[in-house]
Structure 1
Amino acid sequence: MCRLFAVTSDTPLSPMKALEALDAMREGHDGSGVGLFMRDLGGPFAAIKGAPILSGIFTDAGLKKLDTLMMDIGFMTKYRMGIQLPETPPAGTPPRDIYLIRAYDYPRTWENLAEEEKHRRLLKVRLQLREMGEAEGDMIVFSFWPDVIMIKEIGDPLTVGRYMDLDRHGITARIIMAQGRQNTNYAINLYACHPFFLEGFATMTNGENTAFIPVKEFLESRGFDGYIGFQSDSEVFVHILHYISTFLDLPLDAYKHIITPLPDEALNSHADASVLRILKQSCRRLIIDGPNCIIGNLPDGTLFMAQDSKKLRPGIVGGKPGVWAFSSEVCGLDTVIPDRDKSKDFQPMHLDMAMVGPDRKEVKVCRQTDRLSRQA
């Protein structure tokens, strides 16, 4: 199994806080990899919220290719953060030339474009860079989006964080998602490392989606450029979230109904039975199989946790107004928010979705037996 930890805080936090929480849960992951997603950034990025930030791993040759392409498109560097590394990486972590975190000014030709069109073009640039780097492995691009930074690496999470000296570089964020990986493949592909991100949506999962192939085939048939990759069976969770939100314009609580629909006998007595039957039928190829615990983040900052119908992966939510955390184990919560009221910790069960909105006032729980928050 893997271990997950996510935190949403009014005060920007260092990503090392999340890595310390993963370290408290180290018996649940083997230290083979780590992934970090950070949003609503503090530090030097706080003043440039609208600037797209490119994050990834580059060789010196890959950086030259990047610079050539970005100049051709018209992107000019607005801010760059250099991560100076010791000469010798930790055991199991490969040597890298450059961990890139760079903010850009939009090309002048994009100035009058609508935000939606800008975002569509950012996706195309990211996919182009990813494709350019696949042959030689000289560019690994995790994200290219405003107010978002992603870091992924092979090795023990806390050791990697210390190796990169993340505390010293001033990277902080109000929303952090972190996964400590257990390697279930023969070789580690960093594109298979959680969290996954697509156009403002992010998810990470502890589990196994054995319904991966029909979900993958359905998504590929939608004709959307961003539904690619699939190096991990869990990557489809962010694609499904993006699809139901962007293309179907459904509320977040509908996500749970689509990936784990209620049995027909339970639908008969549901207040939204007619709508839910349509969703179950039309999106039947998006039904997952588990076990899976999913933590996700929406463009508006909402953080959520959901279980599949098997509920065989641990997950707990706790905190206090202003700071809340979602964790695979309670020791992760204890590490980051030790002064919370522990009697109010909540463990989502198979019908539940727990969420904390951008105001960070409280944990809200919706159950699949409740009415949809907005009619589909």
Structure 2
Amino acid sequence: MCRLFAMTSETPVSPMIALEAMDVMREGHDGSGVGLFLRDLGGPFEEIKDAPILSGIFSEEGLRRLDAFMMDIGFMTKYKITIKVPKNPPPGVPKRDVYLIRAYEYPEEWDDEPTEVLYDRLLKIRLQLRAMGEEKGDMIVFSFWPDVIMLKEIGDPLQVAQYLKLDRKELHARVIMAQGRQNTNYAINLYACHPFFIQGYASMTNGECTAFTPIREFLLSRNFPGYSGYQSDSEVFTHILHFTQTRLGLDVCGYKHVITPLQDSDIAVHPNAELLKQLKHSCRRLTIDGPNCVIGCLPDHSLFMVQDRKKLRPGVVGGRPGRYAFSSEICGLDYAVPDRDKSQDFQPMHLDTVIVGPQRQEVSVCSQTQPLALLH
């Protein structure tokens, strides 16, 4: 199994808190890799929230190709963090040239474009850069999005964090998601490392998606460029989240109805029975078959956790006003938020969606038995 940890905080905190919490849970992951997602950034990124940030790993040649490509389409560097590492990496960590985090100014001719157009263009640029990197093996691009940083690497999570000096203040953030990856299904590939991200939506999963093939085929049939890649079966959870909210207009509680629909007898007595019948029929190929515990982040910075019907992967949510954490194990929660009221810790069951909103003041729970809200 993998281990998951996420935190949302009123004030920016170091990602080392998440990596150290992962280390407390190290018996639950094999140390084969780590993925880190940072959002609602502090430090130098605080004043440039709208600037798209490119995160990735580059060879020297890949960096030259990146610079030429971005200049050609009119993007100019606004701020950057270039992580150059010692010549000798820790055992199991590949030797890299440059870990790059770079914020850009949009091309001037994009100034009057609607946000939706900008976001579609950012997605296409990320996919172009990924394809360029896969062609020559000289760049790995994790994200290209405002107010988001992603880092992934092979090796022990805490050793990687110390090697990359992730305790630097420039990387403090209010939302942090981290996963210690156990490589059980595929060859090691950083694009298969959680968390996954698409146009403001992120998720990571502990478990396996045995219904991966029909889900992937359904998503590919939507003809949306971002529904691609799929080096990991768990990437579909992020794409279903994006599809549920942007295409179906459902909130995160509706996401739960898509991936784990109610039994027909329960739908019959639900306040939204007709909608749920139609949803279950039309989205039947998006039904997951676990076990899975999913932690996700929405564009408004809300964090959530859901389980599938099998409820065989651990997950707990707890904290105090101003700081909450989502963790695979209570020991990770104890490390990150020791001063909480432990009697308020909540472990979701198969009908629950647990949410901490952007105000970070409380934990809320919605059940699939409750009326369903629509975003639009």
The alignment's TM-score, normalised by the length of structure 2, stands at: 0.99
Secondary structure, counterpart of 2:371 in structure 1? coil
Please, which moves more after superposition, 179-188 or 277-286? 179-188
Query: Cα deviation per residue 1:150-181 (whole Å; 9 max; x = unaligned)?
Result: 00000010110000011135311000000001
Report the 3-state secondary structure (helix = DSSP H, G, I; strand = E; otherwise coil) of the residue aligned with 1:135: helix
Query: Once the two structures are superposed, what CA deviation does each residue of 1:206-254 show, in whole Å capped at 9, x if it has no partner?
Result: 0000000000000000000000001100000000000011111111110
Please list the CA deviations of residues 45-76 of structure 1 after superposition, one character each: whole Å capped at 9, or x if unmatched: 11110100000000001001100110000000
- CA–CA distance in structure 1, aligned partners of residues 170 and 109 of structure 2: 32
Aligned partner of 1:282 in structure 2 is 282
Contact 2:191 2:231 in 1 (8 A): yes
Alignment of 1:1-376 (within 5 A): 1-168=1-168, 170-185=170-185, 187-374=187-374
> How far apart are the structure 1 equivalents of 2:290 and 2:99?
34
Q: Does the residue aligned with 2:180 lie in a helix, a strand or coil?
A: strand
CA distance in 2, matches of 1:250, 1:41: 27
CA offset digits 1:53-110 (Å, max 9, x no partner)? 0000000010011001100000000001121311110100000000000000000111
Contact residue 14 and residue 168 of structure 2 kept, 8 A: no
Gaps spanning 5+ residues in structure 2: where?
none
**One-letter identity of the residue aligned with 2:146:** P
Output the amino acid matched with 1:365: V
TM, length-normalised to structure 1: 0.99
Distance in 2 between residues matched to 1:213 and 1:79, nearest whole Å: 41
Report sequence identity in percent.
68
Change in Cα spacing, 1:185 to 1:212, as seen in structure 2 (3 Å) is closer
What is the SS of the residue equivalent to 2:373? coil
Please provide the CA RMSD for this pair.
1.0
Query: Could you tell me whether the CA contact under 8 Å between 1:83 and 1:169 is conserved in 2?
Result: no
User: Is the CA contact (8 Å cut-off) linking 2:220 and 2:228 kept in structure 1?
Assistant: yes
**Count of aligned pairs between the two proteins:** 376
Deviation at 1:374? 3.3
CA separation in 2, counterparts of 1:268 and 1:119? 39
Contact 2:153 2:160 in 1 (8 A): yes
The DSSP-based 3-state class of the residue aligned with 1:47 is coil
Q: Which runs of 5+ in 1 are unaligned?
A: none
Runs of 4+ in 1 over 4 A off after TM superposition: none
Q: Give the aligned residue type for 2:196.
A: F
Q: Secondary structure in 1 aligned to 2:47?
A: helix
The letter of the residue matching 2:115 is E
Q: List per-residue Cα deviations over 1:116-140 (Å, max 9, x = no partner).
A: 1001000010000000000221110
Partner Cα separation in structure 2 for residue 228 and residue 179 of structure 1: 22
Give the letter for the 2:48 counterpart: I
